Amino acid sequence: MTSTVRPSKADGDPRLSGRAVKRIAFDEASIARRVAELGREITTAYPDGDLLVLGLLKGSFIFLSDLVRQISRPLQVDFLVASSYGDGTISSGTVNLVYDPETRLEGKDILLVEDIVDSGRTLNRLMTILQERKPRSLEICALLHKRIADGLKYDTKFVGFDAPNEFLVGYGLDHAENFRHLPYIASLQ
């Protein structure tokens, strides 16, 4: 299930420190409802086996935290950090694992949790790396999907919301490490 964007204002939110937000794209209550639904969908999709929920840091940490508490079955959690920017501000297209999961992946059902799917470059490379480790299954769960990734080679099995093609922040998503702490997802001006 996906949701449409509903305009609203974040005027007066002291967490913004006077920074301009065009609108709230997804409010706190909508996010909580959708995360609970995703938890039920994931619980149903993985009735048995060793489930490893693998969060892609930093953007997924809040979503992953809320999501795993909604999954009603045993699971493990680990993280990975990937970089495609090096010292620049434009993606190099080369994805490097900065932090590799410590958990053994072979034979496990792996659910890779991402904050937002946009270009798909990082996901393509990570999925290839993870598949080489012989998991039982490997799927993607994304809070947001912009549906603009022409080169994405892998389906996103679980999607929280279809996202507008705007620069979004909050609920883990950032701009220069700011805004991650917002309980809603907003579009920057």
- Measured CA to CA, the distance from residue 175 to residue 178 in angstroms comes to 5
Do residues 80 and 99 touch, judged by C-beta distance below 8 A? yes
Longest pairwise C-alpha distance within the chain? 50
Pairing relationship of beta strands 76-83 and 51-57 according to DSSP bridges: parallel
Q: Which of 66, 109, 115, 118 is catalytic?
A: 118
3-state class of 177 per DSSP? Answer: coil
Q: Are 106 and 135 in contact (CB under 8 A)?
A: yes
11 included as an active-site residue? no
Report, as residue numbers or ranges, the catalytic residues. Answer: 118
